[in-house]
Structure 1
Amino acid sequence: MNEIISYFSTIPSSHRSLILVGGITIFWLIENSFPFFLMQYRKWHHAGINFFLTFTTIIVNFILAFILIKTASWTTENHFGILQWIPKLPIWLYTIIGLLLLDLIGAYLVHFIQHKVKFLWRFHLIHHTDTWIDTTTANRHHPGESVMRFIFTTLGVLIVGSPMWMVFLYQSLSVIASQFNHANISLPNKLDVFLSYFIVSPNMHKVHHHYVLPYTDSNYGNIFSVWDRLFGTFTTLSKDKLIYGVDTHMLPEENNKLKKLLQIPFQKSRSAKNTENH
């Protein structure tokens, strides 16, 4: 454990970039060999759009990174936050608690709020317009959403009182988890169900990308599935009923053109057209 802490305390930017690129590459190869859906689409064109939005996310995080570093340093120096207030624990338990709480605030909570607040939904909508979910979809975020997610990650660091090495570990795990649960990969059903009791599995997250309510408003987690199960937002849907996208923007000229996607948050809101009963 000490080796992990030491590594993430000084992890170079190049290694963080390698985690991002390496994860996409690995899951890209796997989904080509063992696809969940045999989707007929221009994979490189689709990836190009999602890579551009991934790049804007990297830029946002790079520009604002000093805020995150200052926040983590302040919490440890001033003994502020949950991890600073609880009794001394074994380092492995301390780490798990910290990661769980960072995932709650930096992933589950912000995701839930984005679905409930109309102004924020305008930006998050770009992620849901993707009708071909694969590993490149993981970072398909409008720059405005990237800023909002950064704010909640920083809030999480402040409330949790996590040291910077834990923040870097959390962000690395978050990237890999998101690439994994968005990947168009077919796992044995029993394995996927088993994984979904601990982490957000591919089948679990794909339900969130079903095109109509109430499924769109479910399975908000990114790394850990415990929060969806605890707060009653966990649900399932069989593969044969799954349709990707969001019902207000199902036309290719809207969901598969970069310029149109960037304009969506500034257009008139559209109400959901359909809902399905469980």
Structure 2
Amino acid sequence: METILNYFETIPPLHRGIIIVAGLTFFWILEGAMPLVNFNYKKWKHAVPNIFFTITTIAVNLPMAFLLLYSADWVMTNNFGILNWLPEMALWLYVLLGVFLMDFFGAYLPHLIEHKVPPLWMVHLVHHSDHKVDATTANRHHPIESVIRYLFTLLGVFAIGAPIGIVMLYQSMSIVATQFSHSNIKLPRKVDKWLSYVLVSPNMHKVHHHYKMPYTDSNYGNIFSVWDRLLGTYMELDPDKIIYGVDVFPNEEENSNIKDLLKQPFQKYQKPTSYEAVTTNED
């Protein structure tokens, strides 16, 4: 564990880029072998806007990485944050707890808030307006949202008192986890269900991408599903009933155009009005 932590303390930007590309490539290939939905689409054409927003996300995060480093150094020097206030513990538990809490502050919390605050929802809408959810959808975020998520990650560093090794480990795990949960892959339902008791599985997250409420406002987790289960935002829906997109922005052509997507947050806010009966499916 110490070796892993030491590696992520000084992980080169190139290695972080390799993680993104390798994960995307792996799940892209896996989608072809075991698809959940047989999309009738040109996969490369669909990927263009999503890869564009992946690049903008990287462009936003890399220049500001020094803030994470500075903040992590500050909390450790000043013995500040949850991890520094707890009794000494085994290294594996220290790292696990750090990543677990970073997942809350850096992913679950901002995701929840983006769904509840109308202007932020309009920014986050770029992610939800994909009508063919696959691995490339994972990093389809408007540049403004990339900044918002970054600020919450920064908040997490201070609240948790996380060293830079844990922060970088969390970010790397987050990238792979979100690619996995968005991937258009079909796991055996029982495997997916059991996996979802701890981690965010593909079927679990796909519920979040259903085009109608209340399912859109559920399953906010990124790495760990525990946050949704603990905080009452977990829902289930048969994968065969899931329709991707958002009911108030149904134009797939506009939702696939980079120029229109960049302007999407500045459109007039439209509150989703469609609701369905809540059902649960026990496998």
- TM-score normalised per structure 1: 0.99
Alignment of 1:132-151 (within 5 A): 132-151=132-151
Cα distance in 1 for partners of 2:60, 2:66 equals 11
Partner of 2:211: 211
Partner of 1:64: 64
**Alignment-mate amino acid for residue 249 of structure 2:** H
Cα distance in 2 for partners of 1:99, 1:172 equals 11
**Alignment-mate amino acid for residue 226 of structure 2:** V
Alignment of 1:92-171 (within 5 A): 92-171=92-171
Give, in angstroms, the shift of residue 270 of structure 1. 1.3
Cα distance in 1 for partners of 2:263, 2:253 equals 12
Cα distance in 2 for partners of 1:23, 1:117 equals 31
Cα distance in 1 for partners of 2:150, 2:171 equals 11
**Alignment-mate amino acid for residue 98 of structure 1:** G
CA deviation string 1:110-152 (max 9, x = no partner): 0000000011111000000001000000000000000000000
Give, in angstroms, the shift of residue 48 of structure 1. 0.9
Cα distance in 2 for partners of 1:185, 1:221 equals 18
Cα distance in 1 for partners of 2:219, 2:273 equals 21
Alignment of 1:255-270 (within 5 A): 255-270=255-270
**Alignment-mate amino acid for residue 29 of structure 2:** L
Give, in angstroms, the shift of residue 179 of structure 1. 0.2
Cα distance in 2 for partners of 1:233, 1:108 equals 10
CA deviation string 1:68-99 (max 9, x = no partner): 11111100011100001100000011111111
Aligned residues: 278
Give, in angstroms, the shift of residue 271 of structure 1. 2.0
Query: Does the CA-based 8 Å contact 2:213-2:273 persist in structure 1?
Result: no
Alignment of 1:193-208 (within 5 A): 193-208=193-208
Partner of 2:49: 49
Q: Report % sequence identity.
A: 55
CA deviation string 1:16-70 (max 9, x = no partner): 1110000000000000110000001121111111000000000100121111111
Give, in angstroms, the shift of residue 240 of structure 1. 1.9
Cα distance in 2 for partners of 1:253, 1:32 equals 24
Cα distance in 2 for partners of 1:256, 1:144 equals 18
Structure 1's consecutive aligned runs of 4 or more residues displaced over 4 angstroms after TM superposition are none
Alignment of 1:170-209 (within 5 A): 170-209=170-209
Give, in angstroms, the shift of residue 251 of structure 1. 1.0
Alignment of 1:227-242 (within 5 A): 227-242=227-242
Cα distance in 1 for partners of 2:143, 2:11 equals 25
Cα distance in 2 for partners of 1:117, 1:9 equals 35
Cα distance in 2 for partners of 1:89, 1:273 equals 48
SS at match of 2:64: helix
Give, in angstroms, the shift of residue 5 of structure 1. 1.2
Deviates more, 1:134-143 or 1:58-67: 58-67
Cα distance in 1 for partners of 2:248, 2:224 equals 29
**Alignment-mate amino acid for residue 85 of structure 1:** W
Cα distance in 1 for partners of 2:135, 2:217 equals 21
Cα distance in 2 for partners of 1:186, 1:253 equals 27
SS at match of 2:63: helix
CA deviation string 1:195-230 (max 9, x = no partner): 000100000000000001000000000000000000
